[in-house]
Amino acid sequence: MPFAEAFSYICTSAFPVGTAAASSSPLGTVLTRTERDQMATKVVSASPRVEILAKSGINEIPTEYVRPESERLDLGDAFEEMKKAAEGPQIPVVDLQGFDSPDEEVRRACVEEVRKAATEWGVMHIVNHGIPLELIEQLRKAGKEFFDLPIEQKEQYANDQSSGKIQGYGSKLANNASGQLEWEDYFFHLIFPEEKINISIWPKQPTDYIEVTKKFARQLRAVVTKMLEVLSLGLGLEEGKLDRELGGMEDLLMQLKINYYPICPQPDLALGVEAHTDISALSFILHNMVPGLQIYYGSRWVTAKCVPDSIIMHVGDCLEILSNGKYKSILHRGLVNKEKVRISWAIFCEPPKDKIVLKPLEELVADGTPAKFPPRTFEQHIQHKLFRKTRGDFKTPN
């Protein structure tokens, strides 16, 4: 399946990988033309940019943005939900500086801290990650300045998913069985490896967007390398194992999606991003210190705090598969609010779509432990989640 067919599902494949093994259809099966045609009927035509709706002065959101009643039971304004969550369980904060310590005991403690967070939560705030805070501020500034441009200027970069042009400025098409839309616009493009990026579709305004984003991508790739080393050690593997299994420096892709969530007049009815697990191996998130991220943990939704100078890291489906379920691909979603625009920078680290077969690592099933996931390429995994979602098989927990 061309990657263009799957883009709508990259960030919102609302079907946890952990339930995949129970599917009646093999995960490795490539979809037939009939199945693809059935899925195509689920995609509706694009609505106006959400930014336009938000600035039009509406007091009620259009019906296509209203979530089903069962899903609305625990929705609310992101700021209010963050206040409510202050006394509950909190996403772990991991200090990555310990991994660079010459003290082996300190280094092992850092590995254990990451292992525990990835096993129990599937998500963590990373501090002392090594990316200069000044560069992160420059990235935030450049992204905000792009979305501050007039709509007609942003439309010069509009994507067209129907023709396979997936990179660029866009708004989410409906990709679920019931047809709801999400309260967000976005800009999406590949940022690493540099030899594979297409600079021609990157924003020319602001003028420093390209330079800043390329610098950030190089810095983040170093963090990706380090995190995969730590996570490898946490599984009892040698440091470079996971990075190699995912394609290494040449083939592991980093896709950037800048999400723009306008102020919403009815945040108790809408979602910026619906509940999903990421199809990536790892996902990294920066934001403008406006809350919105929620994690499904312990049979409840936990609202993420805004931790200064941190980067949020999610475990994605690919890493859950390689680890044979030891690391959890976490279900999460994005709330909206009445007060402030939220902007987030999500970077998805993905293997090549057909060069690598994803399966539990031999070292983790060598003792007779059964493999929880059948072998499949990344492309086949995308197809499976896409088909299950458009059939409406997955129900969001209440």
Question: Is 46 in a helix, a strand, or coil?
Answer: coil
Single out the catalytic residue among 42, 189, 257, 328. Answer: 257
Provide the b/e sequence for 93-132 (b: ≥16 CB within 10 Å): ebbbebbeeeeeeebeebbebbbebbbebbbbbbeebebe
Catalytic, out of 129, 189, 276, 372: 276
CB atoms closer than 10 angstroms to residue 190: 19
Report the DSSP beta bridge partners of residue 294: 303, 333
Annotated catalytic residue: which of 42, 314, 326, 332? 332
Active site residue 129: no
Whether 268 is catalytic is no
257 given a catalytic annotation:
yes
Phi, psi values for residue 297, rounded to 5°: -140, 130
Residue type, 231: L
Q: Which of 322, 287, 324 is nearest to 306 (CA)?
A: 287
Please report the DSSP string for 95-137 in residue order. EGGGGG-S-HHHHHHHHHHHHHHHHHTSEEEEES-SS-HHHHH
Active-site choice (278, 317, 326, 384): 278
Cβ(264)–Cβ(61) under 8 Å?
yes
Is 314 designated active site? no
- For the annotated catalytic residues, the residue numbers are 257, 276, 278, 332
